[in-house]
Amino acid sequence: MTGKQRMLKTLRFEEPDRAPHFEAMFELEKQAFGLEFPDRTLWEHVSGPEKARMVATCMEIYERIVERYAWDALVVCWPWADPDGVLAARRTFGDELLIGGIVGGGVWAIEVIADWTQFAVDLYQNRAKLHEEAEAMCGRAIDQVDRLVDAGAEFIFLVHDIAFNAGPFISPQHCAELVTPYLTRLVQRVKQHGAVAIVHSDGQLMPILDQIVSTGADALQSIDPMAGMDIARVKRQTYGKLALMGNVQCNLLQDGPREAIRASALYCLENAAPGGGYIFSTSNTVFQGMPLENYEYMLEVFAEYNGRSRPCQ
């Protein structure tokens, strides 16, 4: 079974030969391979042969990641939201992987608010202004979706952090007015193209989980355990409607101990993998500062659970 087949099967809530695995982002390429993704601040200033060279560097690193860690899908983060990166990934991996692009900044979310005081004032005194800005953000994001899918993206990773550890960044009622309708438009645009829509948010999402389901998204990542998101409970509430990705606890992957990493990984697998509808991954990304050996140990536990040999020798 190819990675792409494995991904599509689990997204249909059918049980594949094993749960698929990939990460939203991998930032330990230097530690793992002695290579580095091109400086993310340079992309908007390059074109032509120089950009092609930088894209080729990204693909070399992605090939090594996929081979060493047996990923089943790839979201092209570098270059960010760029059709050239998606085109290169499709050429590189063909139909072996499900290839995706990344789109952010499309709805009101924590990372797009520059002035929280003004946002709070507008939330109660000038809601029309917030809707106007939401329309503009959503329109720009839809344009990105169109360009990425036209370039060959088979899924779109819609990244918007809409919750803190204590709960959504605005009330569920305000989310229902200012966030969910625009997120729904993004999801539906992706699905109109015949692509898969994966929604990302950290934080405690239970008060708005039904709203996320209502968007029609195919999957939700990260199922943040540090915010109290219990993947067993979430799966009971969403099975058959919304697939899940993530939940291996990132602070444990950063700090250990190994016994806690093992327990977190096994909890995810035992409670979310049976019956399909689950993609095994960290609860966020493989970020700088996480010891590479802890991520690789997580995959050793994954391999043991699947009754297979170690995937990253």
207 token code pair: 């008060």
Alpha-carbon radius of gyration of the chain: 19
Q: Is 192 exposed, middle or buried (0-12, 13-18, 19+ CB in 10 A)?
A: exposed
Give the separation between CA 151 and CA 89, rounded to whole angstroms: 10
Beta carbons within 8 Å of 11's beta carbon, 6+ residues apart: 196, 218, 219, 243, 276, 277
Give the separation between CA 168 and CA 171, rounded to whole angstroms: 6
Angle at 26 between CA 215 and CA 193, to 5 degrees: 35
CA 234: distance to chain centroid? Answer: 17
Beta carbons within 8 Å of 124's beta carbon, 6+ residues apart: none
> What is the pTM assigned to this prediction?
0.96
pLDDT digits (tens, 9 = 90+) for 9-68: 999 999 999 999 999 999 999 999 999 999 999 998 999 999 999 999 999 999 999 999
Model pLDDT, residue 46: 93
Q: What is the second-level CATH architecture of the domain 3-19+100-305?
A: Alpha-Beta Barrel (3.20)
DSSP 149-218: HHTT-SEEEEE---EETTEESS-HHHHHHHTHHHHHHHHHHHHHTT-EEEEE--S--GGGHHHHHHTT-S
Contact between 53 and 47 (Cβ < 8 Å): no
What DSSP state is assigned to residue 110? G
Strand 243-246 and strand 167-168: the pairing is unpaired
Model pLDDT, residue 117: 98
For the chain, domain boundaries: 3-19+100-305
Model pLDDT, residue 310: 45
Model pLDDT, residue 309: 43
What DSSP state is assigned to residue 18? S
Model pLDDT, residue 150: 98
Describe the crossing of helices 258-272 and 292-305 by its angle, rounded to 10 degrees: 40
In one-letter notation, the amino acid at residue 305 is Y
Residues of the chain with pLDDT under 70: 308-313
215 token code pair: 């968007």
